[in-house]
Amino acid sequence: MKQIKELYGEIFNIQRYSTHDGPGIRTTVFLKGCPLKCFWCQNPESQSIRPELLYSKKLCIGCGKCIDACPQKALSRDRVYIEMNRELCSRCGNCVRSCPQKARTLAGRSITVDALMKEVLKDVYTYENSGGGVTLSGGDPVFQHEFALAVLKRSHEELLHTAIETAGYVRWDVLRGLAEESDYIFFDMKCMDSQKHKAGTGVPNELILENAARIVKMGKDIHFRMPLIPGFNDDEKSITALKQYVEDVLELPVKQHVELLKYNKLAEDKFGQLDRLDEQKSMETQSDEKFEYLKSLLYD
Ligand code: SF4
Ligand code: SF4
């Protein structure tokens, strides 16, 4: 008998009881891999499809247990802190398990569709009461679209409400398949100017804007979100361009379909934890006054 190969995906988190990732209370599954490389990324450990090790100096007490646990001799002491040779690391996770402080995290693990559904279905009674469901986030689910599509289909078979969070940078036939199996779509808009978009994310935005329009045409429940990045898109020109696109091109009311998100500083530290200090930025969150002003440009 012909054996059907099980489909595996790479995920780095399953967040239960999420209240900001779609209607009701939800379980959000974070998939690894992203076609964009935003300089402000909130989950830089999600960008690569491979598992990545994060090390928090803030939590480390310098006990050295991780050094002893490492079979690859990838860890050594640098005064109080621990240095890591990432080329030697086999991503076995021994150092993570041996750390008494939870200062080390391995972001990324393989999981089958069946095993993931078992995890998701543990919360099924919560979904029933709240009108929630399952949300696929990342990274960007488009990066592992076969796996994402299988999870969405299986969720629908279980009568769960489904949502995806995407920046829409993928071939239309791929995105259409995911959109067809999604009851709700969060669509990230980073910047309306294509050159600037490329400078900030690594890719231009023409395909993204075309895909957004195609999803709207499908009649899907779509919600646009623009993360406000200091000095990049938190200005009058950027917000006005977004408003014009949504109202004039997509013909959607901005109040119901667009949300601005304040810059979140918390993720800045993660670049250091991944030994990517050269990419770490220090930017200030918008003041309440500025945030209100930008919202007024969009909604008034
Ligand atoms: S994941 Fe394994 S190989 Fe990598 S540093 Fe930790 S113990 Fe060493
Ligand atoms: S085991 Fe944890 S707390 Fe101890 S030195 Fe390693 S990272 Fe630091």
The pLDDT assigned to 63 comes to 95
- Nearest Cα neighbor of 294 from 247, 246, 226 is 226
Taking the centre of ligand 2 as the mean of its atom positions, its distance from the CA of residue 144, in whole angstroms, is: 33
Percent of the chain whose predicted confidence (pLDDT) is above 90: 89
Taking the centre of ligand 1 as the mean of its atom positions, its distance from the CA of residue 73, in whole angstroms, is: 8
The pLDDT assigned to 37 comes to 95
Taking the centre of ligand 2 as the mean of its atom positions, its distance from the CA of residue 101, in whole angstroms, is: 7
What tens digit of pLDDT does each residue of 98-139 get? Answer: 999 999 999 999 999 999 999 999 887 777 788 899 999 999
Phi, psi of 293 (to 5 degrees): -60, -45
Phi, psi of 208 (to 5 degrees): -65, -45
The pLDDT assigned to 80 comes to 82
Taking the centre of ligand 1 as the mean of its atom positions, its distance from the CA of residue 102, in whole angstroms, is: 14
The pLDDT assigned to 6 comes to 86
For the CA of 95, the closest atom of ligand 2 is 1
Of all protein residues, the one whose alpha carbon is nearest to atom 6 of ligand 2 is 66
Phi, psi of 290 (to 5 degrees): -65, -40
CB neighbourhood size of 135 (10 A):
26
Q: Which amino acid is at 20?
A: H
Q: Which of 79-93, 124-138, 197-211 has the lowest mean pLDDT?
A: 124-138
The pLDDT assigned to 124 comes to 75
CA atoms within 13 A on the CB side of 17: 0
Q: Which of 8-17, 254-263, 277-286 has the lowest mean pLDDT?
A: 277-286
Q: Is the pLDDT reported for residue 206 higher than 90?
A: yes
Taking the centre of ligand 2 as the mean of its atom positions, its distance from the CA of residue 70, in whole angstroms, is: 12
Q: What is the Cα–Cα distance from 113 to 216, expressed in whole angstroms?
A: 29
The average pLDDT across 75-97 equals: 94
First and final C-alpha spacing in the chain: 64
The pLDDT assigned to 3 comes to 52
Domains and CATH numbers, the chain: 8-49+108-299 (3.20.20.70), 54-107 (3.30.70.20)
Q: What is the Cα–Cα distance from 108 to 49, expressed in whole angstroms?
A: 8
For the CA of 61, the closest atom of ligand 2 is 3
Residue among 70, 73, 82, 84 to mutate when testing ligand 1 (max atoms within 8 A of CB)? 70
The average pLDDT across 256-267 equals: 93
The pLDDT assigned to 128 comes to 72
Q: Is the pLDDT reported for residue 36 higher than 90?
A: yes
pLDDT confidence of 277, banded at 50, 70, 90? confident
CA atoms within 13 A on the CB side of 225: 15
Taking the centre of ligand 2 as the mean of its atom positions, its distance from the CA of residue 51, in whole angstroms, is: 19
Q: What is the Cα–Cα distance from 298 to 4, expressed in whole angstroms?
A: 51
- Nearest Cα neighbor of 32 from 134, 125, 149, 147 is 147
The pLDDT assigned to 83 comes to 95
What tens digit of pLDDT does each residue of 55-68 get? Answer: 999 999 999 999 99
What residues line ligand 1, using a CB cutoff of 6 Å?
53, 69-70, 72, 74-75, 84, 89-95
**Tokens read off for 52:** 């990545």
Q: Is the pLDDT reported for residue 4 higher than 80?
A: no
- β-pair partners for 11: 31, 109
The pLDDT assigned to 294 comes to 97
Percent of the chain whose predicted confidence (pLDDT) is above 70: 98
Regarding predicted confidence, which is higher, 79 or 107? 107
Q: What is the Cα–Cα distance from 49 to 3, expressed in whole angstroms?
A: 26
CB distance 63 to ligand 2 below 6 Å = yes
Taking the centre of ligand 2 as the mean of its atom positions, its distance from the CA of residue 87, in whole angstroms, is: 20
DSSP tag of 26:
E
DSSP line for 158-205: TT-EEEEEE---S-HHHHHHHHHT-SEEEEE---SSHHHHHHHHSS-S
Of all protein residues, the one whose alpha carbon is nearest to atom 7 of ligand 1 is 70
Of all protein residues, the one whose alpha carbon is nearest to atom 3 of ligand 1 is 89
Q: What is the Cα–Cα distance from 24 to 135, expressed in whole angstroms?
A: 11
What's the mean per-residue pLDDT of the chain?
94
Host H or E run for residue 125: helix 124-130
